[in-house]
Amino acid sequence: MSRICAITGKRPVKGRRIIHKGQSKKSGGIGLQLVKQTKRVFKPNVQRIRVKLPSGQVKRMWVSAKALKAGLVTKA
């Protein structure tokens, strides 16, 4: 099941989590070194709600929280 916003088109985005190791220069070390990068997914805040369409029909859709707050959708 793909969680994509029907209004804004927001979808999960791939990224990386960067892991650093070492002692900072401020506290007497040689600085933080990059150890490794692990893959991760940034998931959007998407909720399944009942939406009233312009034709008057009521339909369940995946809508992002940002679209709800902005008032881009009329809840049924």
Q: Exposed/middle/buried for 46, CB within 10 Å: 0-12, 13-18, 19+?
A: buried
Q: How far apart are CA 5 and CA 67, in angstroms?
A: 9
* Chain segment 15-46, per-residue pLDDT in tens: 999 999 999 899 999 898 999 999 999 999 99
Q: What is the pTM of this model?
A: 0.70
- pLDDT digit string (tens) for 39-62? 999 999 999 999 999 899 999 999
Alpha helices in the chain (DSSP H): 65-70
